[in-house]
Structure 1
């Protein structure tokens, strides 16, 4: 299903291999802008001292190989001092040649030695110089690698989850998504604060720094191709504008938004949110329930926290469960979604389960050693 009503520049994106060699001016500009805003998951890097030791080892290896080549063909070289070339002379010649010093006291005189200098030693000299300036090249290589990672991610990501806001609500929403089996690479965070975006990248998430009320920021998060959007902004007016922008860019995505005040919930619904969670009233109800019945409140908290004792989850009906009554299942069925209607366990229409039903169950959390 193709999205409508949003930019379609991604449909003509070149392949990853071609992008390394050639990119049009507009593609290069898009990747440069995305590179400033998108933070990829943090990867482990080699310690600086180990990098230096590796370069030193490579340089010595190239020097040793050049020395061996010269010594094997030593009859084709002439030493201005004594006329012959031994192993020490070969090492000396390799050193001054690779460092481009070239004193000229030892020279190739035979055709074979000169040909070897052209075809073998000259490339080794270039390799030796590359190793010596490896720090500068590494910076350029890292920048290119980062652009390639971003380009590859932008070209491949689809049907993912975009979480707008990496505050308390956003972080807990992501923890729940991960607990439900959604991979970290399928989650994209958008936040106005670079510090928050960096923290998300440190947790293995792709993050975008920018104002989520602007469509260009959401396009960088590939929201037009997302399957679900969670709006966890700090302010209700911001959440409303973000929801409007997200719905304009993506007509098919499921949007869940959080607001502080009940009176703003209908406005979020009109803006395009499929589900609106009122945080203040929900917290108030939980407070009142905790006072009236602490045990019920703790049970409800367990149900909302994956892995804490009891899990409340939604899943499709298995083939072997079709035709059975909900009460006969191993898991406790509290509701069934049928034809987009939510039916609780007391509904008379739930005498038996049908193919295509989705059941909401309460089950015991699986301990890590049991998985």
Structure 2
């Protein structure tokens, strides 16, 4: 719809430019360019004050072409503008989800269950742009009412991911069941090889499969949450990267912003050093979700 409006405006400008130069040449208005523009506008709008009129045969032919083309382009522009405004207002009034978003460097959240909802809240708190893809009508309606960008559709479908501007996104978070997560990861990776993909995993045996088909990171929310809760109960430390219980005295340690973090291996410590904020935010999210004090 926006594209048709753009084409209509370009056509209208082309008619104005054509009429301007046409009158400059046929009416010899080189020394009076404002009169050429004035005559073009009066011809298109059919006002015709009569103070300036074409006098040459060629000029009259230009006027006929400009009048017909200008009226057509003008009507097309007004219709496209009207359709755009009315369509947006209707979708807003009826509480309908977006058909396509206009974003860049955003995140795509696939699924708005418990995990997807928490992810959306954290991204919103960090002022990150995101759009949710969800099939359930009740969840979609809830997001529309709360002003959350949402596309109703199947995240496994290429057309739905295109509507979510997957080619311009910087990350995709699959927060559904393992089977749809698997298909979504495969589809997203084939469409955007450079996209960072994080997938929730429920069954441990699917973790390696999700990584093989394109997930950069897999997260078992139940396992990691349980590990952290048990660690808190036993007063033991856990690796912020992989979530493994470790002995703080014998583990590798790293100071970051006044806090000490312990790691089970050099690989986990290197991953934390590369993106510390990512893992700290994840730990905070788990704490808040499980209602555990630090």
Q: Give TM-score scaled by structure 2 length.
A: 0.52
Find out whether 1:199 has 2:142 as its counterpart.
yes
1:158 to 104, 127, 148: 104
C-alpha distance after superposition, 1:188-244 (max 9, x if no partner) = 0001112212222223221011111111111111112211000001x2111101111
CA distance in 2, matches of 1:223, 1:271: 17
CA distance in 1, matches of 2:257, 2:115: 33
Question: Would the alpha carbon gap of residues 267 and 289 (structure 1) be closer, same or farther in structure 2, given more than 3 Å must change?
Answer: same
The alignment covers a number of residue pairs equal to 193
2:124 maps to 1:182: no
What is the rounded CA distance, in whole Å, between the counterparts of 1:289 and 1:198 in structure 2?
Answer: 39
Q: Partners of 1:362 and 1:238 in 2: how far apart?
A: 28
CA distance in 1: counterparts of 2:205 and 2:150, whole angstroms: 31
The structure having more radius of gyration, on CA atoms, is 1
Counterparts in 2 of 1:288 and 1:150: CA distance versus 1, 3 Å: closer
How far apart are 1:18 and its partner, in Å? 1.1
Verify: 1:343 aligned to 2:285, yes or no.
no
Contact in 2 for aligned 1:166/1:200 (Cα 8 Å): no
- 2:115 aligns with one of 164, 169, 187: 169
2:61 corresponds in structure 1 to none
Relative to structure 1, the CA distance from residue 343 to residue 282 in structure 2 (aligned partners, 3 Å threshold; closer, same or farther) is: closer
Which of 166, 171, 176 is 1:228 aligned to?
171
The within-5 A match list for 1:281-300 is: 281-289=223-231, 292-293=233-234
Aligned partners of 2:226 and 2:276: how far apart in 1? 28
RMSD: 4.5
1:18 aligns with 6
Q: Is the 8 A contact 1:200 1:207 kept in 2?
A: yes
Q: Could you tell me how far apart the structure 2 residues matched to 1:21 and 1:195 are? A: 39
Call closer, same or farther: CA 1:342–1:280 in 2, change over 3 Å.
Answer: closer
Three-state SS of the structure 2 residue aligned to 1:343 is helix
2:157 to 200, 214, 223: 214
- TM-score computed with the length of structure 1 as normaliser: 0.43
The CA deviation string for residues 24-80 of structure 1, in whole angstroms up to 9 with x for no partner, is: xxxxxxxxxxxxxxxxxxxxxxxxxxxxxxxxxxxxxxxxxxxxxxxxxxxxxxxxx
The one of 169, 179, 183 aligned to 1:241:
183
Match of 1:143 among 71, 87, 91: 87
Bigger relative CO (Cα 8 Å, ≥ 6 apart): 1
- Aligned mates of 1:17, 1:270 — CA distance in 2: 44
> Structure 1's 168 and 277: CA in aligned 2 closer, same or farther, altered over 3 A?
same
